[in-house]
A and B are shown apart, each in its own frame.
Chain A
C-alpha cells in the first residue's frame, strides 16, 4: 500500500504524496492527520503534503471516496508515498454537514443522512442541481413541473407532512426540505451552478434540521460549495452539449379527418369527418387571391404532430479556478448555460459567477462567498402545442408556418379554423405571444469565527439572498373579426425579493475523560421582504409598440408588498461516551410575524442517540465480516407555520371592472380567514441501523420513520353554500410510516476494474387521519384530493355506475353507460414505492455510470385526453367506426339491484356528443403511474496520464457521453405521458398546458489544468 523511501530532509518535517492506487493520479485535498495530535493538513493539487511528525507517530490519511490509510513515521527523513484505494462508503469516516453547517462524524448522528458528491450529482449534467439528486437518495422524491426551458422542481423528503400547497413569503412548497447553502437557508437553489457544489448532504430527519427552524421540519439539503485547496492552483474547464427530443405524446387516431357527423368540413378542426380516403380535399376557405388550399386526406405515416417540435439544445460551459496558501483559499467559477427549447423560439440563458474565499487571522477565521446568477428566459406561454392534440391527423404544420404572408393559409385571416384561443395557428402563437423574464439572483455570506480557547468558539454568520425578476409579457396585436382577432397587450412586472439571515452561535466543547460534551447556543434573526409590481395595458394601439403609453382605455397596475420576520433562539447539547455512544438534545423557540401576537411564540424539542456496537463491544472489534455497525434513534416535535403574511384577515379587493371611475366596489376574499391560527406540530420517531460488511465493501442502511402532523394549517375546501369556497383552519392530521433502505457495494474491486452497484428503496405509507369539521375529503387541485384514510393527495374521479362485478351499467333506454353519482377513489397520486438503482463501472480510464428510477403504486390523471375525446382525435373515438355499439362488458339494471349482461343494446350514438360525454368520465383518462426509467447514463473516458505526461500544462482530460430519460417503461394503461412531468406542482396530474416530455443525449468534455 505504501512505501517509504529515505531522502535527505529536515528531521521534523515529513513530506509525502498521495495517489490513486488504480489510476496513479495525484489526489488533491486528501486529509493528512498525525494521530493523537491535532496536527492536520491537506494535500496540494499535485497530491503532495508536508506535515510535522515525530518518529513513531502514525499518519492517518483520509480522502472522500477512498479507504483511509495509515502510515507510521519510521524515520524523520522520509517521503511517504501513499496509494489509496477508492471506496466511497467508508461509513465510520463519513463526515456529515450537520445543522448550522457544523461538520461532524456520521457516527454521532442520531438520524439518517445521505451524501451525494459532486461527481454523482453531475452525472446527468442537469442545469438545476436538484434534478441531479433524483432517485439517488432514499425517501427523496423529485418531479418536474411546468416543464419548459426552465422547469420547476417539486421536491419532497419522506412523504407529505402538510396539506397546504404553498407556504411563507417565498411561496415554498411546505413539503419541501429546506435548502441550506454553506450555512445560509435560501428559498431556492435552482440558479446554483451544480459544478460549484462539492457535495449535498441530505439530512432526512426533522431532528437533524430542527436547529434551522420550522422550515427544517421536512429535513434539509445541506449544500457545500467548493473551496480552494492549499497548493498549486487548479483550473478546470467543462463543456457539455445536450440535444433533446420530444417523446411520449398521447396517441391519436389516424382513421378519421376533419368534419362533423361523418361529413367533411374544410373549416372544422375536429376529427368527426369521414374516414381518410387518400384524395385531395379543400382545406379551409379560399385565400384572398382565390386559391383554394388543399390537403391530402390521409394520415401520414409519421406522426405529424412531431413537426411542431424542434430538437432542443443545451450547451454548458464551465470554468473554475481554485487554490490557496497557508492562510487563505479561493475558488472562482463562471458558468454559462444556453438552452433552446423543444418549442421553437423558447430559450433560456444563464450565467453564473461565484467567488468563495477564506482567510485566517490567528484565531480568527473568516470565510465569505458570493454567487451571482443572471438568467434570461424567453418563452411562449402555454399554447402552441395544445392545438396539436386536437387537430386532425393529416394537419400540415409546414403549410401554416408563414403566418405573416397575407396569402398564406397560416395567416390568421385565412386560417382554416376561426376558433380563437389555443386553436389559433401555433406559429402565430409562438411569434406573437411571448413571456420574457430577466432574473438576477445574488447570494452571499460572511462568516467569522473566533476560537477563544480549545473549548469555546463563537461564530457569527450573516447571509443574504436577493432576487430581482423583471418580466414582460406581450401579445402582438392582430386585428381580425371575431375569434380571429388578437388584442395587443403588454404587462411589465418586477418582482424583488430579499432575505437577510443572521446567526450567532456559541460553540462549547469539552472532554471529561471518556465523556465528551458539546453545547451550542444560538440566536437567529430573519427578515424577508417581497415587492411585486406590474403595470400594463390590455388594448394596445400598434402591433409593434409594446408600451402602455400607446393604449386605449385605462392603465392596469398593481403593487403588492409582503414582509415576514422571525426570531429564534436555540440550543443543542450533545454528550458522547468513549466515541461509541452519543446522546443529543435540541430545543428551539421561534417568534414569527405571520401569527397573531398571542400565538406567535412556540417551542420545539428533540432528542437523538447513536451507538456504535463495533467499537463498544470487544468481541465485535476488528471483525472482517462486520466492519462497522451503528444503531440510532430519535424523537422530536417540530412546530411549523405555513401561513404567508397577512392571512389572518380577509382582504377586500376590487374586481368585476371596479373601480368604474369614481365608483368603487370592494369584495371580500372567498377564503374564510381565521385570526387565531396556531402553529402546527409534527412529531417524528426514527430508528435505524447502518452496517459496513466485508471491510466496508458492502454497506447497508435501514431506517424506520413515523411522523404525525397535527393541527395542520390548511385551506379546507368547503361547500360554497357556506358562502366561502374554503376555510383556513388548524385541523387535519397526516401520518407517515416510512421504511428506507440503502444497499451499496463493490461487486468487483480489482486494480483495473471496479464495479459498484447501489440500490435505494423507500416505502411511504402516508395517511390522512383527520380533516376539518365533518369533511371526509378536501380538494387539493382538481381531481387531486385529501381523503380520510387514504394517502395525500389521492385521485378521486367520476366513474360509471357498476354492478358488484365492476361491469358498467348502461341505461336500458339509451344504451349509454350510466354515470355514477359518487366519485371513485382510485388511489394515491404519490407512488408509495420508490427505488433508485445505480451502477458505476470503471475499467482503466473508462467509466460507465447509470441511474435507474423505479416508482410504483401511484396513479395519474391526464387532462390532455378529455379534450382529445371531444376533438375526436383520441384512438378510442375511432374504435367502433363512429357507430353505436354495445358497451363492452356492460349490464342493464332490469330491476333495482338486479343486473343482466347487455349483449345487444347499442349506445345512443358513436359520434361526437357521445364520446365527448365519455371524455368527461374521468376514470377513462386515469392510469397507474408506475414507471421504470433509465434516468441518467454517463460514459466517460479519461485520457491516460502517460499521454499527458509529456507536458505539464494539462493534467487531466476526459470526454464523455451523457443522456437523460433514454428509455422508460410505463404501466400499459398509461398512454398519457411521463408520470414525473407534472402540472402545477400537483402529484400525478398531467395537463395539455405543460410541454410534452423529452429525452436528451449529448457529449461532455472535462479538462483540468
Chain B
C-alpha cells in the first residue's frame, strides 16, 4: 500500500503541476497575427480599401437609384425592390438589408485602432489619415442616419450602449476631427510617414490636407440651408488659414491597392457592375440601365459624355423608368442602353469602365471643383471665380469620362451649359455636378437632391405615394436590438417623413 502511494502520488503531482505549465502553453495563435506583430503599414491599406468599397459600391448603389441615375430593365424588375419601393424595414433588416451603419462603424474602428497605435508610437501621419477618414465616415453616417453616437462611439466595452448626439453636433465634431487630422499629418517627422502603403496619396502631406479641406468644404456646403452660417464662416476661415487649399486639377483621391485579375481582386466596381474575372458580363450589367431622365439630361445639353457612358440601340439612347412595376417592350434588356465599357468601345476605356485595375474613386477633382465653385458663388471663397471653377470642373469630368478636351468649348457655349447664361447659378452648378458624378459618387446626388431639390429627379413609380421620397435610412435592426434605448430617444426614424438635420 505504502509503495503504491509512494509511486502514484508523486506521479500525479508531477503530471498535474510540475509539467503543467509548459504542457498548457499552447494558446498562441499559429494562424493569424495579432496587432502587436503587425506594423501600421500592414493595416492602413486595408482600412482605406474598406472605406472606398463602401463608397463606390454600397453607397454608390443607393445613391445611383435614389439620385436618379439608374433603373432596371423589364428582366430586372425584381432587383433592388427595397430601394425602389422605399421599404425602410427591409433596408434596415439585419440579414437582407443594407448594412451601411454596421460597415461604416466597423471601418471607423479600423481607423480608431490605427489612430491609437499611431499616437502611442508617434506616427502622426497615420493618426492624421485616421482622423480625416473617421471624419469622412461620421459625416456620411449623419447624411444617412441623422443623429448618431460620436463621443461614446468606438470605445468597445467602455460604452457598450453608446449615447447618440445630434446630427448637427456630430457634423461639427467631425469637422473638428478632420482639422486635427490635418495638423497631425503636417507634424509627422520623416521616418514615420507612410509610403506605398498610403494607397491614395503615397505619403503626400499636401494632398492629404487638400482632401481633408475638400471634405470639410462639402460638409459646410451641406448645411447651407440649415441656418448655421456663423459656424460655416469660422470653419471657412480655418480652412483658409491652413492654406493647403482643395483638390484641384488632376488631384483625385483615387484608391489603388493594385487590383489583380483574380476573382475578388478586381476593381470591385468593375467586378460588380461590368464583367467578372472570366470577362462575362454581370447580372447588374445586364439589367441596370440609365433612367430616361438621365439620358434626357445629357441629350438636352448635347452632352458628349452620353456616348462614352452608354451603348446606343439602333442609334438611339434609351433609358428606363425607376421603380417601374410594369413591363413594356421599350424597357427590355435588348431595347435599352447598357453601360459602355472597353468591350463595347473598341477596347478603349469607357466613361466609367476602363480596366480591371482602374482605381476606385474616393473623391474626384471635379467634385472638389464643383464644391469650390458653389462656395465661391456663395461668397465663402474668393481665390478664383465661380465660373472658372465651374468650367474646370466640367473639363475634369470630360477627362475622366474620356471625352476629347476639344469638345468642351462648343459644349460650354450652349445656353443650357454656360455659366453666365444661368439665372440660378447654384442650380447650374448642382445640375452639372449631377451629370459629372453619375455612378461615381452617386450618394452625393441623393444628398444634394435632398439639400437643393435639384435636379428635378422623377420619383420611383413604386413609391408609396407620389410625393414620398426617401429622406434617410431607418436605424438598423442590429442597433434597435443592441442600443434601443438610445436609438428610440432620437424620435421617428421614418424614412419618408423624418429628414436629417441639414435637410429643411
Chain A residues at the B interface, C-beta cutoff of 8 Å: 260-261, 263, 265, 267-268, 270, 418-420, 452, 456, 458, 479-483, 485, 487, 504, 506, 521, 523, 525, 538-539, 552-554, 559-567, 569, 589, 591-597, 600, 645-646, 648-658, 660-668, 670, 672, 674, 716-725, 727, 729, 772-779, 782, 785, 796, 798, 813-814, 816, 819, 821-823, 870, 908, 911-913, 916-917, 920-921
Contacts and interface: CB of A to CB of B under 8 A. Distances in A.
Contacts of A667: 43, 46-47, 50, 110
B384 interface: no
Contact of B262 (A554, A653, A674, A917): A554
B312 interface: no
Interface of B: 1, 4, 8, 11-12, 15-16, 20-21, 23-35, 38, 42-47, 49-50, 53, 74-75, 77-78, 81, 84-85, 87, 89-90, 93-95, 101-102, 105-106, 108-110, 112-113, 148-149, 152-157, 159-162, 196-197, 199, 257-265, 268, 276-278, 280-283, 285-287, 325-327, 462, 464-465, 476-485, 488, 492-493
12 contacts: A263-B326, A452-B4, A487-B278, A565-B24, A567-B16, A589-B16, A593-B27, A653-B32, A656-B46, A719-B149, A772-B160, A913-B85
Given A565-B23, A717-B478, A721-B153, A651 B33 contact: yes
Given A479-B278, A720-B106, A564 B26 contact: yes
Contact of A552 (B105, B160, B277): B277
A777 B28 CA distance: 32
A268 B332 CA distance: 12
B214 to A, nearest CB: 25
A567 B26 CA distance: 13
A595 B28 CA distance: 11
Contact of B260 (A452, A554, A645, A668): A554
A265 B327 contact: yes
Nearest to A777: B481
A719 B24 contact: no
A920 B89 CA distance: 7
Contact of B77 (A260, A665, A725, A813): A260
Given A773-B157, A917-B87, A458 B4 contact: yes
Given A569-B16, A646-B27, A911-B325, A720 B265 contact: no
B357 to A, nearest CB: 9
Contact of B46 (A552, A662, A665): A665
Contact of B478 (A261, A458, A719): A719
Contacts of B49: 656-658, 665
B29 A649 contact: yes
Contact of A539 (B28, B112, B156, B263): B263
A445 to B, nearest CB: 19
Nearest to A521: B12
A567 B479 contact: no
Q: Is the interface of A mostly helix, strand, loop or mixed?
A: loop
Contacts of A267: 74-75
B157 A727 contact: yes
A526 B132 CA distance: 51
A316 B54 CA distance: 54
A458 B261 CA distance: 65
Contact of B286 (A483, A592, A660, A662): A483
Nearest to B9: A521
A650 B257 contact: no
Contact of A823 (B8, B199, B481): B481
A913 B263 contact: no
B34 A649 contact: yes
Contacts of B257: 657-658, 660, 663, 665
A521 B258 CA distance: 63
Given A591-B20, A665-B49, A672 B481 contact: no
A553 B277 contact: yes
Contacts of A559: 31
A561 to B, nearest CB: 5
A814 B15 contact: no
B20 A722 contact: no
Contacts of B462: 913
A419 B263 CA distance: 21
B282 A482 contact: yes
Given A481-B281, A798-B89, A773 B160 contact: yes
Contacts of B45: 658, 663-665
Given A270-B78, A917-B85, 10 more contacts: A539-B277, A553-B263, A594-B27, A664-B42, A665-B42, A667-B110, A670-B106, A772-B160, A821-B480, A821-B492
A670 B50 CA distance: 14
Nearest to A661: B258
Contacts of B15: 523, 525, 567
A660 B265 contact: yes
Of B11, B35, B81, B160, chain A has the most CB atoms within 10 Å of the CB of B160
A917 B89 contact: yes
A725 B34 CA distance: 18
Contact of B263 (A504, A538, A661, A778): A538
A115 B157 CA distance: 46
B89 A721 contact: no
A796 B477 CA distance: 11
Contacts of A525: 15
Nearest to A272: B325
B152 to A, nearest CB: 8
B422 to A, nearest CB: 38
Contacts of B492: 821
B160 A722 contact: yes
Contacts of B265: 553-554, 657, 660
B41 to A, nearest CB: 8
B16 A456 contact: no
Given A823-B481, A916-B85, A727 B196 contact: no
Given A722-B156, A822-B488, A666 B33 contact: yes
A552 B90 contact: no
Nearest to B465: A814
B257 to A, nearest CB: 5
B238 to A, nearest CB: 28
A456 B23 CA distance: 30
Nearest to A919: B90
A320 B371 CA distance: 84
B58 to A, nearest CB: 13
Contact of A660 (B34, B89, B154, B258): B258
A846 to B, nearest CB: 52
B321 to A, nearest CB: 13
Nearest to B111: A723
Contacts of A798: 89, 477
Given A649-B34, A724-B109, A719 B479 contact: yes
A722 B325 contact: no
A796 B27 contact: no
A252 B334 CA distance: 33
Contact of B161 (A594, A646, A665, A773): A773
Nearest to B463: A913
Among A260, A480, A560, A648, the one with the most B-chain Cβ atoms within 10 Å of its Cβ is A260
A523 B12 contact: yes
A419 B95 CA distance: 20
Q: Which 10 A-B pairs have the closest CB atoms?
A: A665-B46, A723-B109, A553-B262, A482-B286, A773-B160, A651-B32, A483-B283, A719-B483, A660-B258, A665-B45
Given A656-B49, A822-B480, A719 B160 contact: yes
Contacts of A654: 46
Given A538-B264, A719-B478, A666 B46 contact: yes
A68 B47 CA distance: 75
A82 B152 CA distance: 81
Given A260-B77, A263-B326, A420-B283, A723 B16 contact: no
A656 B53 contact: yes
Given A483-B283, A723-B109, A785 B481 contact: yes
A267 B333 CA distance: 12
A722 B153 contact: yes
